[in-house]
Structure formats: structure tokens, C-alpha cells
Chain A
Amino acid sequence: MSFFFRSGALYSKIKIMGVVTKEYEALVDTGAAKTGIPINECQKLGLRASGIEWTEGLFGGDYLPLFESKIEFAGKVLDKDIVGLPIRIPIVGRDLIRHLKMTLDWRMLVANVEDP
């Protein structure tokens, strides 16, 4: 399975398909509502803008661009609008992980997907 731990954080391999297809190691962030990738990667992948979302959180709010994409995640291919963010590594948000039934053992650092 494509989940692994690094520095105590859970990561997953995801493949994003735009005009170009590219595989990433993404941080799994259960606090993130949506999956996001660095905005310069959106350019490289040739993703089409689909809209703008206003999001608000601990440090204020911002208008974030959304891009149409196909994502391969844990063996599933999903049509999702992903967020272009000013970050260095992609993050997998709840919009993707809600498709899985998985358990996490944080003592042994083991991720077990029961129903992919």
C-alpha cells in the first residue's frame, strides 16, 4: 500500500493527472478539508482552473484557486478539484481520505487500509 511514515508524519503516494501525469509523496493531513498541491506544480501539470474558494482558518482567510484533476490515490482514480497552495509538498485532505476505511497505529507507526 502506498502509505508510509516519515518523521512521525503519515505520507501517501498520489498520482495527479492533468496534461502531464506526475507522482508525488503527499503529507496526509486530517485537518485539511481539501487536497492541495504547490501552485507552481499546477502550472507544470497543465491543470485547468475550475473556480475560486474562500477559506478561513486560524490565521485568517484567503481566496484559493481550485483546479480540475484526476487523482490516483490508494488504488482509486477520483475526479477532484484540488487547491493550488503556497506550499512545498502536496497534502492529502479529507476529501480523499474519506474514501478509505483505514486504521492508524501511532505507537508502531503502521497504517492499515482495511477497505481500499
Chain B
Amino acid sequence: MSYTQEESLLQYSQRLMSYTRPLISDIPEMQSYMWKSQQEYVHMDIPASLQRYERMRRELGALFNRLKMLLEKGLIDESSINEILEQKIIFEERRVELEEKYHSKVVVVCNGEVFVGETIDDAVAKAKAKHGDRLYYSEALGVTDFPSVLF
């Protein structure tokens, strides 16, 4: 999936959202579960693969909104949005495998390739050595690491 010049950013975001499966409630075989209240439904045994698609859809939406904000501030351009989202999609598609293999490590996806390091600096250095200035997406797997006092 990639961004084309013919479509607007809004159309692209809609296409991106339709890339993943629809909401669980939209899937016919899941509708029999829906007779219960929303609260009970949340705690039901929803297949892991569907949960994963829901999560992917939600995360892509959140990332897209953040990138749109950066675009409005003039910090990135439209092609950068496309490139970062592509890396995020690759990461989400491989998330389960990466979480099993590289727990407590940092993963960087750059130009479709996965780089792993103990810290983000290690992983980014590997990615930059191979792909130069290409944009990347990074996530620490199973690690909580955030600027402390100011949040």
C-alpha cells in the first residue's frame, strides 16, 4: 500500500484504514456475540487474530493523526507520512514474531528491513549504516522507557 499523488491525504487515510479488517462488530460471524452489553462483550473470548487486526487499525489511525499534526507544523512532508506508515505496517504485520524473538530489545524498521538493538541508538545506527537518511519507525518491545518527570 502506498500513497499516490492523485488522491488526497484524507482519501489515503481512508484507504489505509480499510487495509486492515473491519471492526469486530462488522464481521458477520462475530455478530452473534453482540447480544451482550458492550462491557461484557469486551471481556469475551475474541480470537487473537481479530484482536490483532483491531489493534493494528487503531494504532495506524493514531499514528496517522500524529503524522498529520507534524505535516501541519511543516516538520514533515506528505511522502514522509507514506514512508513512515509503510514501516509501521511492516512492523505490525510482524509484531507477534518480533515480540517473541526480541523481547526487551528495540526494533527499528527502515526501508522494509528490521534492525534490532539493545537501545534505540544501537538499532538506529544499524539502520542508518545500511539505508542512510531513510525514515524509520521504532518501538521498544516489552520495555517501558519514557521521559520521566515531565509526563
Interface of A is mostly: strand
CB distance from A90 to the nearest CB of B (A): 11
- Evaluate contact between B76 and A49: CB separation under 8 angstroms: yes
- Evaluate contact between B75 and A49: CB separation under 8 angstroms: yes
CB distance from B16 to the nearest CB of A (A): 15
- Evaluate contact between A54 and B148: CB separation under 8 angstroms: no
- Evaluate contact between B149 and A29: CB separation under 8 angstroms: yes
Does B35 lie at the interface of the complex (its beta carbon under 8 Å from any beta carbon of A)? no
- Evaluate contact between A39 and B73: CB separation under 8 angstroms: yes
Q: How many CB-defined contacts (below 8 Å) exist between A and B?
A: 110
CB distance from A88 to the nearest CB of B (A): 9
Number of interface residues of A (CB under 8 A): 40
26 A-B pairs with CB atoms under 8 Å apart are: A29-B148, A29-B149, A31-B148, A43-B74, A43-B75, A48-B133, A49-B135, A51-B84, A51-B124, A52-B66, A52-B67, A53-B120, A54-B139, A55-B140, A55-B145, A55-B146, A56-B144, A57-B144, A62-B66, A63-B62, A63-B63, A66-B138, A84-B75, A85-B150, A93-B147, A95-B119
- A→B interface (CB under 8 Å): 27, 29-34, 36, 39-40, 42-43, 48-59, 61-63, 65-68, 80-81, 83-85, 87, 91, 93, 95
Closest to B143 in A: A56
CB distance from B95 to the nearest CB of A (A): 11
Does B13 lie at the interface of the complex (its beta carbon under 8 Å from any beta carbon of A)? no
Closest to B88 in A: A52
CB distance from B109 to the nearest CB of A (A): 9
Known: A33-B120, A52-B63. Contact between A87 and B150, CB under 8 A?
yes
Known: A33-B145, A56-B145. Contact between A51 and B136, CB under 8 A?
yes
